[in-house]
Structure 1
Amino acid sequence: MNPISSPGEFTELDRFMFESWGYLLIPSVLSEEEVNECLEASVRLHQSAGTTGWAQVGRGYETEISLERLIDHPAILPKVRALYGDRFIMQSGWCTKQPAFGGVGGWHQDGSGAYDFRKLGYPIPLLQLRASFLLTDQTVPRTGNMELIPGSHRSQVPLPDSIRSSRESVPVSHVICAPAGSVLFFHNAVWHRTYAHDGDYDRYTMHYIYSPPWVRCSDRFENNPEFLQRTTPTRRYLMGEFERPDAPFGASYPAQFENE
Protein backbone atom coordinates (compact mmCIF):
# COMPACT_ATOMS: atom_id res chain seq x y z
CA MET A 1 0.00 0.00 0.00
CA ASN A 2 1.43 3.37 -1.05
CA PRO A 3 0.03 6.93 -1.05
CA ILE A 4 0.59 7.20 -4.81
CA SER A 5 0.44 10.61 -6.46
CA SER A 6 0.99 11.90 -9.98
CA PRO A 7 3.48 14.56 -11.12
CA GLY A 8 2.39 18.18 -10.98
CA GLU A 9 -0.91 19.30 -9.50
CA PHE A 10 -1.51 18.80 -5.76
CA THR A 11 -5.00 17.32 -5.86
CA GLU A 12 -7.60 17.10 -3.10
CA LEU A 13 -6.74 13.42 -2.75
CA ASP A 14 -3.05 14.31 -2.49
CA ARG A 15 -3.85 16.67 0.36
CA PHE A 16 -5.90 14.04 2.18
CA MET A 17 -3.17 11.42 1.81
CA PHE A 18 -0.42 13.84 2.81
CA GLU A 19 -2.31 15.02 5.89
CA SER A 20 -3.14 11.41 6.85
CA TRP A 21 0.19 9.68 6.16
CA GLY A 22 2.65 12.57 6.04
CA TYR A 23 4.08 11.63 2.66
CA LEU A 24 3.39 10.92 -1.01
CA LEU A 25 5.15 8.73 -3.57
CA ILE A 26 5.38 9.90 -7.18
CA PRO A 27 6.62 6.97 -9.32
CA SER A 28 8.94 7.27 -12.33
CA VAL A 29 9.25 11.06 -12.50
CA LEU A 30 12.64 10.96 -14.25
CA SER A 31 13.45 9.18 -17.49
CA GLU A 32 16.16 6.52 -17.59
CA GLU A 33 18.51 9.03 -19.23
CA GLU A 34 17.82 11.64 -16.55
CA VAL A 35 18.38 9.09 -13.79
CA ASN A 36 21.71 8.08 -15.29
CA GLU A 37 22.83 11.71 -15.58
CA CYS A 38 21.89 12.45 -11.97
CA LEU A 39 23.49 9.23 -10.73
CA GLU A 40 26.76 9.99 -12.52
CA ALA A 41 26.69 13.51 -11.05
CA SER A 42 26.11 12.11 -7.57
CA VAL A 43 29.04 9.71 -7.88
CA ARG A 44 31.27 12.60 -8.98
CA LEU A 45 30.21 14.68 -5.99
CA HIS A 46 31.07 11.98 -3.48
CA GLN A 47 34.32 11.08 -5.21
CA SER A 48 35.35 14.73 -5.20
CA ALA A 49 34.45 15.04 -1.51
CA GLY A 50 36.26 11.79 -0.69
CA THR A 51 33.34 10.40 1.30
CA THR A 52 33.40 6.98 2.91
CA GLY A 53 30.57 4.96 4.41
CA TRP A 54 27.18 6.62 4.73
CA ALA A 55 27.60 10.24 3.69
CA GLN A 56 25.86 13.29 2.33
CA VAL A 57 27.20 16.13 0.21
CA GLY A 58 25.45 19.47 -0.13
CA ARG A 59 25.35 22.12 -2.86
CA GLY A 60 25.87 19.69 -5.73
CA TYR A 61 23.30 21.64 -7.73
CA GLU A 62 25.84 24.49 -8.00
CA THR A 63 28.19 22.45 -10.20
CA GLU A 64 26.02 19.67 -11.67
CA ILE A 65 23.41 20.91 -14.13
CA SER A 66 21.42 17.65 -13.97
CA LEU A 67 20.93 18.18 -10.22
CA GLU A 68 20.21 21.88 -10.67
CA ARG A 69 17.28 21.04 -12.96
CA LEU A 70 15.59 19.16 -10.13
CA ILE A 71 15.38 22.23 -7.86
CA ASP A 72 12.16 23.41 -9.50
CA HIS A 73 11.11 20.23 -11.27
CA PRO A 74 7.52 20.57 -12.56
CA ALA A 75 6.57 17.26 -10.97
CA ILE A 76 7.10 18.59 -7.45
CA LEU A 77 7.11 22.41 -7.44
CA PRO A 78 3.28 22.74 -7.76
CA LYS A 79 2.91 20.47 -4.72
CA VAL A 80 5.38 22.55 -2.69
CA ARG A 81 3.53 25.68 -3.69
CA ALA A 82 0.17 24.15 -2.71
CA LEU A 83 1.46 23.49 0.81
CA TYR A 84 3.47 26.69 1.35
CA GLY A 85 1.75 29.26 -0.83
CA ASP A 86 3.84 31.65 -2.92
CA ARG A 87 6.65 32.30 -0.44
CA PHE A 88 9.20 29.58 0.24
CA ILE A 89 12.84 28.76 -0.35
CA MET A 90 14.95 25.69 -1.00
CA GLN A 91 16.60 25.43 2.38
CA SER A 92 19.10 22.80 1.26
CA GLY A 93 19.98 20.14 -1.28
CA TRP A 94 21.76 17.00 -0.09
CA CYS A 95 23.06 14.07 -2.09
CA THR A 96 23.19 11.01 0.17
CA LYS A 97 25.06 7.77 -0.33
CA GLN A 98 24.37 4.54 1.48
CA PRO A 99 27.28 2.17 0.88
CA ALA A 100 26.95 -1.37 -0.43
CA PHE A 101 25.78 -3.83 2.23
CA GLY A 102 24.77 -0.95 4.50
CA GLY A 103 22.72 -1.52 7.64
CA VAL A 104 19.63 0.27 8.89
CA GLY A 105 19.86 3.87 10.00
CA GLY A 106 18.56 5.46 13.18
CA TRP A 107 14.94 6.53 13.60
CA HIS A 108 14.53 10.31 13.56
CA GLN A 109 12.42 13.27 12.53
CA ASP A 110 13.91 15.99 10.36
CA GLY A 111 14.65 19.31 11.99
CA SER A 112 17.29 21.49 13.53
CA GLY A 113 19.87 20.17 15.98
CA ALA A 114 19.90 23.65 17.50
CA TYR A 115 16.17 23.70 18.28
CA ASP A 116 13.72 20.83 18.52
CA PHE A 117 10.75 21.52 16.26
CA ARG A 118 8.48 19.79 18.79
CA LYS A 119 8.86 22.84 21.02
CA LEU A 120 6.94 24.92 18.49
CA GLY A 121 3.60 23.23 19.11
CA TYR A 122 1.36 20.32 18.25
CA PRO A 123 1.13 19.13 15.57
CA ILE A 124 4.75 19.83 14.66
CA PRO A 125 4.56 22.43 11.89
CA LEU A 126 5.70 21.87 8.33
CA LEU A 127 9.10 23.61 8.28
CA GLN A 128 11.05 21.22 6.07
CA LEU A 129 9.23 19.65 3.15
CA ARG A 130 11.45 17.09 1.46
CA ALA A 131 11.40 15.85 -2.13
CA SER A 132 13.74 12.86 -2.46
CA PHE A 133 14.69 11.69 -5.96
CA LEU A 134 15.63 7.99 -5.95
CA LEU A 135 18.64 7.48 -8.21
CA THR A 136 19.07 3.72 -7.80
CA ASP A 137 16.40 1.07 -8.08
CA GLN A 138 14.43 0.41 -4.89
CA THR A 139 11.54 -1.67 -6.20
CA VAL A 140 12.11 -4.35 -3.54
CA PRO A 141 12.97 -4.05 0.18
CA ARG A 142 16.55 -4.02 1.44
CA THR A 143 17.88 -1.87 -1.39
CA GLY A 144 18.53 1.21 0.74
CA ASN A 145 14.85 2.18 0.79
CA MET A 146 13.37 4.81 3.05
CA GLU A 147 11.36 3.37 5.94
CA LEU A 148 8.66 5.61 7.41
CA ILE A 149 5.94 5.37 10.05
CA PRO A 150 2.68 6.52 8.42
CA GLY A 151 0.85 9.27 10.29
CA SER A 152 3.61 9.68 12.87
CA HIS A 153 3.83 13.42 12.10
CA ARG A 154 0.57 13.69 14.07
CA SER A 155 1.66 11.65 17.09
CA GLN A 156 1.53 13.49 20.40
CA VAL A 157 4.30 11.29 21.84
CA PRO A 158 7.78 10.60 20.42
CA LEU A 159 9.03 7.22 19.32
CA PRO A 160 10.32 5.46 22.49
CA ASP A 161 13.99 5.99 23.25
CA SER A 162 14.45 2.25 23.64
CA ILE A 163 13.39 1.73 20.01
CA ARG A 164 15.61 4.53 18.78
CA SER A 165 18.74 3.52 20.70
CA SER A 166 18.53 -0.11 19.60
CA ARG A 167 17.35 0.69 16.05
CA GLU A 168 14.56 -1.84 16.46
CA SER A 169 11.87 -2.43 13.87
CA VAL A 170 8.38 -1.01 14.36
CA PRO A 171 5.34 -3.11 13.36
CA VAL A 172 3.54 -0.15 11.78
CA SER A 173 6.47 1.01 9.62
CA HIS A 174 6.33 1.17 5.83
CA VAL A 175 9.30 0.41 3.56
CA ILE A 176 9.05 2.52 0.39
CA CYS A 177 9.54 0.44 -2.77
CA ALA A 178 9.80 2.31 -6.06
CA PRO A 179 11.91 2.37 -9.23
CA ALA A 180 14.78 4.76 -9.82
CA GLY A 181 13.52 8.17 -10.89
CA SER A 182 10.64 8.18 -8.39
CA VAL A 183 10.16 10.95 -5.84
CA LEU A 184 9.28 10.57 -2.16
CA PHE A 185 7.67 13.75 -0.84
CA PHE A 186 7.36 14.00 2.97
CA HIS A 187 6.78 16.09 6.11
CA ASN A 188 9.68 16.80 8.47
CA ALA A 189 7.82 15.33 11.46
CA VAL A 190 7.32 11.84 10.00
CA TRP A 191 9.51 9.35 11.86
CA HIS A 192 11.80 7.67 9.33
CA ARG A 193 15.14 6.00 8.72
CA THR A 194 17.27 4.44 6.01
CA TYR A 195 16.43 0.77 5.55
CA ALA A 196 19.03 -1.96 5.03
CA HIS A 197 20.89 -2.27 1.74
CA ASP A 198 21.99 -5.75 0.67
CA GLY A 199 23.29 -4.77 -2.77
CA ASP A 200 26.94 -4.72 -3.83
CA TYR A 201 26.64 -1.14 -5.12
CA ASP A 202 26.25 2.25 -3.42
CA ARG A 203 22.73 3.68 -3.19
CA TYR A 204 22.24 7.38 -4.06
CA THR A 205 19.33 9.73 -3.37
CA MET A 206 19.09 13.46 -4.06
CA HIS A 207 17.08 15.38 -1.46
CA TYR A 208 15.65 18.88 -1.88
CA ILE A 209 14.28 20.53 1.28
CA TYR A 210 11.82 23.42 1.03
CA SER A 211 11.03 25.78 3.91
CA PRO A 212 9.32 29.06 4.77
CA PRO A 213 11.44 32.04 3.60
CA TRP A 214 12.62 32.92 7.12
CA VAL A 215 14.23 29.52 7.83
CA ARG A 216 18.02 29.58 7.71
CA CYS A 217 19.69 27.53 4.98
CA SER A 218 21.41 24.37 6.20
CA ASP A 219 23.70 23.35 3.33
CA ARG A 220 25.36 26.76 2.89
CA PHE A 221 26.21 29.95 4.74
CA GLU A 222 25.85 31.99 1.56
CA ASN A 223 24.96 31.38 -2.06
CA ASN A 224 27.60 30.96 -4.74
CA PRO A 225 27.64 34.23 -6.78
CA GLU A 226 28.64 32.44 -10.00
CA PHE A 227 25.76 30.00 -9.61
CA LEU A 228 23.29 32.82 -8.99
CA GLN A 229 24.48 34.67 -12.08
CA ARG A 230 23.99 31.75 -14.45
CA THR A 231 20.87 30.08 -13.01
CA THR A 232 17.24 30.95 -13.74
CA PRO A 233 15.23 33.67 -11.94
CA THR A 234 13.00 31.05 -10.28
CA ARG A 235 15.95 29.09 -8.94
CA ARG A 236 17.63 32.31 -7.81
CA TYR A 237 14.50 33.16 -5.87
CA LEU A 238 14.38 29.67 -4.36
CA MET A 239 17.93 30.18 -3.11
CA GLY A 240 16.59 33.07 -1.05
CA GLU A 241 17.92 35.81 -3.32
CA PHE A 242 15.09 38.33 -3.43
CA GLU A 243 14.55 41.84 -2.14
CA ARG A 244 13.39 42.28 1.45
CA PRO A 245 12.55 45.98 1.75
CA ASP A 246 11.47 45.73 5.38
CA ALA A 247 13.96 43.10 6.62
CA PRO A 248 14.12 41.51 9.08
CA PHE A 249 10.37 41.45 9.79
CA GLY A 250 9.23 40.36 6.36
CA ALA A 251 5.78 41.90 5.96
CA SER A 252 6.49 42.60 2.30
CA TYR A 253 8.15 39.44 1.10
CA PRO A 254 7.55 39.29 -2.66
CA ALA A 255 5.32 36.50 -3.86
CA GLN A 256 7.21 34.43 -6.42
CA PHE A 257 4.23 33.15 -8.37
CA GLU A 258 1.57 35.80 -7.72
CA ASN A 259 1.45 37.06 -11.30
CA GLU A 260 1.30 33.67 -12.99
Structure 2
Amino acid sequence: MNAISSPGEFTELDRFMFESWGYLVIPGVLTDAEISECLAASIRLHEAAGTTGWAQIGRGFETEPALERLIDHPAVLPKVRALYGDRFILQSAWCTKQPALGGMGGWHQDGSGAYDFKKLGYPIPLLQLRASFLLTDQSLPRTGNMEMIPGSHRSQVELPGAIRAAKEDVPVGHVICAPAGSVLFFHNAVWHRTFAHDGDYDRYTMHYIYSPPWVRCSDRFENNPEFLDRTTPTRRYLMGPFARPDAPFGAGYPVEFGEG
Protein backbone atom coordinates (compact mmCIF):
# COMPACT_ATOMS: atom_id res chain seq x y z
CA MET A 1 0.00 0.00 0.00
CA ASN A 2 1.48 3.33 -1.09
CA ALA A 3 0.25 6.91 -1.36
CA ILE A 4 0.86 6.91 -5.11
CA SER A 5 0.81 10.19 -7.01
CA SER A 6 1.48 11.21 -10.61
CA PRO A 7 4.13 13.65 -11.83
CA GLY A 8 3.12 17.30 -12.05
CA GLU A 9 -0.12 18.73 -10.70
CA PHE A 10 -0.85 18.53 -6.97
CA THR A 11 -4.37 17.13 -7.12
CA GLU A 12 -7.08 17.17 -4.47
CA LEU A 13 -6.34 13.50 -3.83
CA ASP A 14 -2.64 14.31 -3.49
CA ARG A 15 -3.48 16.90 -0.85
CA PHE A 16 -5.67 14.45 1.07
CA MET A 17 -3.00 11.73 1.00
CA PHE A 18 -0.21 14.15 1.94
CA GLU A 19 -2.18 15.60 4.84
CA SER A 20 -3.17 12.10 6.02
CA TRP A 21 0.14 10.26 5.64
CA GLY A 22 2.69 13.04 5.30
CA TYR A 23 4.22 11.73 2.09
CA LEU A 24 3.64 10.73 -1.53
CA VAL A 25 5.42 8.34 -3.86
CA ILE A 26 5.74 9.52 -7.48
CA PRO A 27 6.86 6.71 -9.82
CA GLY A 28 8.27 7.18 -13.30
CA VAL A 29 9.73 10.65 -12.85
CA LEU A 30 13.14 10.02 -14.45
CA THR A 31 13.89 8.20 -17.69
CA ASP A 32 16.50 5.44 -17.80
CA ALA A 33 18.95 7.88 -19.39
CA GLU A 34 18.34 10.49 -16.67
CA ILE A 35 18.79 7.88 -13.95
CA SER A 36 22.13 6.86 -15.44
CA GLU A 37 23.30 10.47 -15.72
CA CYS A 38 22.28 11.36 -12.17
CA LEU A 39 23.76 8.16 -10.73
CA ALA A 40 27.07 8.76 -12.51
CA ALA A 41 27.10 12.35 -11.21
CA SER A 42 26.42 11.14 -7.66
CA ILE A 43 29.22 8.59 -7.80
CA ARG A 44 31.61 11.28 -9.07
CA LEU A 45 30.74 13.56 -6.15
CA HIS A 46 31.41 10.88 -3.56
CA GLU A 47 34.56 9.60 -5.24
CA ALA A 48 35.97 13.13 -5.45
CA ALA A 49 35.24 13.66 -1.74
CA GLY A 50 36.62 10.23 -0.80
CA THR A 51 33.59 9.36 1.31
CA THR A 52 33.39 6.06 3.17
CA GLY A 53 30.40 4.41 4.80
CA TRP A 54 27.12 6.28 4.93
CA ALA A 55 27.74 9.80 3.65
CA GLN A 56 26.04 12.83 2.14
CA ILE A 57 27.38 15.68 0.03
CA GLY A 58 25.66 19.00 -0.51
CA ARG A 59 25.43 21.51 -3.37
CA GLY A 60 26.41 19.01 -6.06
CA PHE A 61 24.10 20.86 -8.42
CA GLU A 62 26.79 23.53 -8.78
CA THR A 63 29.11 21.19 -10.68
CA GLU A 64 26.84 18.45 -12.04
CA PRO A 65 24.32 19.58 -14.70
CA ALA A 66 22.27 16.38 -14.36
CA LEU A 67 21.65 17.18 -10.69
CA GLU A 68 21.04 20.86 -11.40
CA ARG A 69 18.18 19.93 -13.72
CA LEU A 70 16.36 18.22 -10.85
CA ILE A 71 16.12 21.44 -8.81
CA ASP A 72 12.96 22.57 -10.60
CA HIS A 73 11.85 19.29 -12.14
CA PRO A 74 8.32 19.67 -13.61
CA ALA A 75 7.19 16.46 -11.90
CA VAL A 76 7.89 17.96 -8.47
CA LEU A 77 7.87 21.77 -8.55
CA PRO A 78 4.08 22.17 -9.05
CA LYS A 79 3.52 20.14 -5.89
CA VAL A 80 5.97 22.29 -3.94
CA ARG A 81 4.22 25.45 -5.16
CA ALA A 82 0.82 24.05 -4.20
CA LEU A 83 2.01 23.65 -0.60
CA TYR A 84 4.15 26.79 -0.24
CA GLY A 85 2.78 29.30 -2.73
CA ASP A 86 5.22 31.23 -4.91
CA ARG A 87 7.83 32.20 -2.33
CA PHE A 88 10.15 29.42 -1.19
CA ILE A 89 13.79 28.43 -1.58
CA LEU A 90 15.91 25.36 -2.13
CA GLN A 91 17.15 25.12 1.44
CA SER A 92 19.58 22.32 0.65
CA ALA A 93 20.36 19.49 -1.74
CA TRP A 94 22.06 16.36 -0.42
CA CYS A 95 23.43 13.44 -2.37
CA THR A 96 23.38 10.47 0.02
CA LYS A 97 25.16 7.16 -0.25
CA GLN A 98 24.27 4.10 1.76
CA PRO A 99 27.09 1.60 1.37
CA ALA A 100 26.67 -1.98 0.28
CA LEU A 101 25.43 -4.21 3.11
CA GLY A 102 24.44 -1.11 5.10
CA GLY A 103 22.48 -1.51 8.32
CA MET A 104 19.40 0.17 9.71
CA GLY A 105 19.41 3.92 10.25
CA GLY A 106 17.96 5.63 13.30
CA TRP A 107 14.37 6.87 13.56
CA HIS A 108 14.15 10.67 13.34
CA GLN A 109 12.23 13.67 12.09
CA ASP A 110 13.91 16.20 9.83
CA GLY A 111 14.71 19.57 11.30
CA SER A 112 17.41 21.75 12.79
CA GLY A 113 19.87 20.73 15.48
CA ALA A 114 20.06 24.41 16.46
CA TYR A 115 16.32 24.76 17.12
CA ASP A 116 13.82 21.93 17.50
CA PHE A 117 10.91 22.45 15.12
CA LYS A 118 8.55 21.03 17.78
CA LYS A 119 9.03 24.28 19.73
CA LEU A 120 7.17 26.14 17.00
CA GLY A 121 3.78 24.57 17.64
CA TYR A 122 1.47 21.66 16.99
CA PRO A 123 1.23 20.24 14.43
CA ILE A 124 4.91 20.74 13.57
CA PRO A 125 4.87 23.16 10.62
CA LEU A 126 6.05 22.32 7.14
CA LEU A 127 9.53 23.89 7.07
CA GLN A 128 11.46 21.31 5.06
CA LEU A 129 9.59 19.71 2.18
CA ARG A 130 11.75 16.94 0.76
CA ALA A 131 11.77 15.45 -2.74
CA SER A 132 14.02 12.38 -2.79
CA PHE A 133 14.99 11.05 -6.23
CA LEU A 134 15.79 7.33 -6.06
CA LEU A 135 18.84 6.64 -8.25
CA THR A 136 19.18 2.92 -7.52
CA ASP A 137 16.38 0.38 -7.54
CA GLN A 138 14.38 0.06 -4.32
CA SER A 139 11.53 -2.08 -5.64
CA LEU A 140 12.07 -4.66 -2.90
CA PRO A 141 12.62 -4.25 0.86
CA ARG A 142 16.18 -4.18 2.22
CA THR A 143 17.58 -2.26 -0.76
CA GLY A 144 18.28 0.93 1.20
CA ASN A 145 14.64 1.99 1.18
CA MET A 146 13.19 4.70 3.35
CA GLU A 147 10.89 3.47 6.11
CA MET A 148 8.15 5.90 7.09
CA ILE A 149 5.52 5.97 9.85
CA PRO A 150 2.36 7.16 8.06
CA GLY A 151 0.60 10.10 9.72
CA SER A 152 3.30 10.56 12.36
CA HIS A 153 3.71 14.22 11.37
CA ARG A 154 0.42 14.78 13.23
CA SER A 155 1.32 12.87 16.40
CA GLN A 156 1.32 14.86 19.64
CA VAL A 157 3.81 12.46 21.21
CA GLU A 158 7.31 11.44 20.17
CA LEU A 159 8.34 7.98 19.10
CA PRO A 160 9.55 6.37 22.38
CA GLY A 161 13.19 7.04 23.09
CA ALA A 162 13.95 3.39 23.83
CA ILE A 163 12.78 2.40 20.35
CA ARG A 164 14.86 5.17 18.77
CA ALA A 165 17.96 4.24 20.73
CA ALA A 166 17.70 0.55 19.82
CA LYS A 167 16.63 1.23 16.22
CA GLU A 168 13.77 -1.20 16.81
CA ASP A 169 10.96 -2.01 14.39
CA VAL A 170 7.50 -0.56 14.93
CA PRO A 171 4.30 -2.30 13.78
CA VAL A 172 3.16 0.77 11.80
CA GLY A 173 6.42 1.22 9.87
CA HIS A 174 6.00 1.35 6.09
CA VAL A 175 8.98 0.40 3.94
CA ILE A 176 8.78 2.42 0.71
CA CYS A 177 9.34 0.15 -2.28
CA ALA A 178 9.74 1.91 -5.63
CA PRO A 179 11.95 1.59 -8.71
CA ALA A 180 14.83 3.88 -9.58
CA GLY A 181 13.56 7.12 -11.08
CA SER A 182 10.78 7.47 -8.51
CA VAL A 183 10.46 10.38 -6.07
CA LEU A 184 9.54 10.19 -2.39
CA PHE A 185 7.95 13.52 -1.42
CA PHE A 186 7.51 14.11 2.33
CA HIS A 187 6.92 16.42 5.31
CA ASN A 188 9.79 17.10 7.71
CA ALA A 189 7.79 15.91 10.74
CA VAL A 190 7.15 12.35 9.50
CA TRP A 191 9.16 9.88 11.55
CA HIS A 192 11.41 7.92 9.20
CA ARG A 193 14.69 6.05 8.87
CA THR A 194 16.94 4.46 6.30
CA PHE A 195 16.11 0.76 6.00
CA ALA A 196 18.76 -1.94 5.69
CA HIS A 197 20.57 -2.49 2.41
CA ASP A 198 21.57 -6.10 1.63
CA GLY A 199 22.92 -5.42 -1.87
CA ASP A 200 26.57 -5.60 -2.89
CA TYR A 201 26.43 -2.11 -4.42
CA ASP A 202 26.13 1.40 -2.95
CA ARG A 203 22.66 2.94 -2.85
CA TYR A 204 22.33 6.59 -3.99
CA THR A 205 19.50 9.05 -3.44
CA MET A 206 19.39 12.75 -4.37
CA HIS A 207 17.40 14.85 -1.90
CA TYR A 208 16.07 18.37 -2.60
CA ILE A 209 14.70 20.24 0.43
CA TYR A 210 12.41 23.25 -0.06
CA SER A 211 11.66 25.76 2.69
CA PRO A 212 10.04 29.14 3.34
CA PRO A 213 12.30 32.00 2.18
CA TRP A 214 13.39 32.96 5.69
CA VAL A 215 14.86 29.53 6.55
CA ARG A 216 18.66 29.45 6.50
CA CYS A 217 20.32 27.18 3.94
CA SER A 218 22.00 24.10 5.40
CA ASP A 219 24.24 22.84 2.57
CA ARG A 220 25.93 26.20 1.93
CA PHE A 221 26.70 29.44 3.77
CA GLU A 222 26.32 31.43 0.56
CA ASN A 223 25.47 30.82 -3.06
CA ASN A 224 28.20 30.34 -5.63
CA PRO A 225 28.12 33.56 -7.74
CA GLU A 226 29.34 31.72 -10.84
CA PHE A 227 26.48 29.25 -10.52
CA LEU A 228 23.98 32.09 -10.13
CA ASP A 229 25.33 33.81 -13.24
CA ARG A 230 24.96 30.78 -15.50
CA THR A 231 21.85 29.05 -14.17
CA THR A 232 18.24 29.72 -15.18
CA PRO A 233 16.12 32.52 -13.67
CA THR A 234 13.89 29.99 -11.86
CA ARG A 235 16.84 28.20 -10.29
CA ARG A 236 18.45 31.51 -9.36
CA TYR A 237 15.20 32.47 -7.63
CA LEU A 238 15.19 29.17 -5.75
CA MET A 239 18.67 29.93 -4.41
CA GLY A 240 17.10 32.83 -2.53
CA PRO A 241 18.56 36.05 -4.00
CA PHE A 242 15.25 37.76 -4.70
CA ALA A 243 13.73 40.97 -3.36
CA ARG A 244 11.55 40.42 -0.30
CA PRO A 245 8.17 42.18 -0.35
CA ASP A 246 8.48 42.85 3.42
CA ALA A 247 12.00 44.32 3.33
CA PRO A 248 12.96 46.22 5.39
CA PHE A 249 11.37 44.18 8.17
CA GLY A 250 9.35 47.12 9.39
CA ALA A 251 6.90 46.63 6.52
CA GLY A 252 3.92 48.93 6.74
CA TYR A 253 5.87 51.67 8.50
CA PRO A 254 7.59 54.66 6.91
CA VAL A 255 11.18 53.82 5.97
CA GLU A 256 12.58 56.61 8.15
CA PHE A 257 10.77 55.16 11.17
CA GLY A 258 11.94 51.65 10.40
CA GLU A 259 15.54 52.82 10.12
CA GLY A 260 15.37 54.42 13.54
**Shorter-chain TM-score: what band?**
over 0.9
Q: What CA distance in whole angstroms lies between the structure 1 residues aligned with 2:250 and 2:101?
A: 47
Letter in 1 for 2:2: N
Matched, 1:135 2:155: no
- Counterpart of 1:117, as a letter, is F
User: Aligned partner of 1:15: which letter?
Assistant: R
Q: Counterpart amino acid of 1:108?
A: H
Corresponding residue for 2:15?
Answer: 15
Superposition pairs of residues 59-78 of structure 1, within 5 angstroms:
59-78=59-78
Listed one character per residue, the Cα deviations across residues 137-165 of structure 1 (whole Å, up to 9, x for unaligned) are: 00000000000000000000000000000
> What is the rounded CA distance, in whole Å, between the counterparts of 1:46 and 1:168 in structure 2?
30
Residue aligning to 1:57: 57
Q: How big is each residue's C-alpha offset from its partner over 1:20-39, in whole Å with a ceiling of 9 and x where there is no partner? A: 00000000100000000000
Distance in 2 (CA, whole Å) between partners of 1:168 and 1:68 is 37
Q: Distance in 1 between matches of 2:250 and 2:111?
A: 22
Whole-Å separation in 1 of the counterparts to 2:251 and 2:29: 36
In 1, Cα distance between equivalents of 2:66 and 2:27: 19
- TM-superposition CA deviations, 1:51-109 (whole Å, max 9, x none): 00000000000000000000000000000000000110000000000000000000000
1:110, 1:188 within 8 Å by CA — same for their partners in 2? yes
Question: What are structure 2's unaligned runs of at least 5 residues?
Answer: 253-260
- 2: distance between equivalents of 1:146 and 1:222? 30
Taking the aligned partners of 1:123 and 1:222, their CA distance within structure 2 comes to 31
Instruction: Percent identity, please.
Output: 85
Matched residue, 2:121: 121
Deviation of 1:249 (Å): 2.5
Seen in structure 2, the aligned counterparts of structure 1 residues 248 and 45 have a Cα distance that, compared at 3 Å, is farther
Query: Corresponding residue for 1:255?
Result: none
Residue 176 of structure 1 is matched in structure 2 by 176
Instruction: Give the distance between the partners of 1:58 and 1:30, measured in 2 at CA.
Output: 21
Deviation (angstroms), 1:12? 0.2
What residue number does 2:102 align with? 102
Distance between the aligned counterparts of 1:44 and 1:248, measured in 2?
42
Alpha-carbon distance in 2 for matches of 1:190, 1:65: 31
Deviation at 1:247, TM superposition (A): 3.2
Matched-pair contact (CA < 8 Å) for 1:152–1:191:
yes
In structure 2, C-alpha distance between the alignment counterparts of 1:156 and 1:183, rounded to whole Å: 28
3-state DSSP class of the match of 2:205?
strand
Alignment match, 1:144:
144
Runs of 4+ in 1 over 6 A off after TM superposition: none
Q: Matched residue pairs, number?
A: 252
Cα distance in 1 for residues equivalent to 2:10 and 2:250 = 27
**Conserved 8 A contact 1:101-1:199:** yes
> Cα distance, 1:241 vs. partner?
1.2
1:244–1:250 contact (8 Å) kept in structure 2: no
2 CA distance for matches of 1:91 and 1:104? 26
Q: Distance in 2 between matches of 1:163 and 1:71?
A: 35
CA distance in 1: counterparts of 2:242 and 2:250, whole angstroms = 12
Partner in structure 2 of residue 243 of structure 1: 243
Q: Quote the Cα distance in structure 1 between the aligned partners of 2:248 and 2:16.
A: 35
SS in structure 1 of the partner of residue 240 of structure 2 = coil
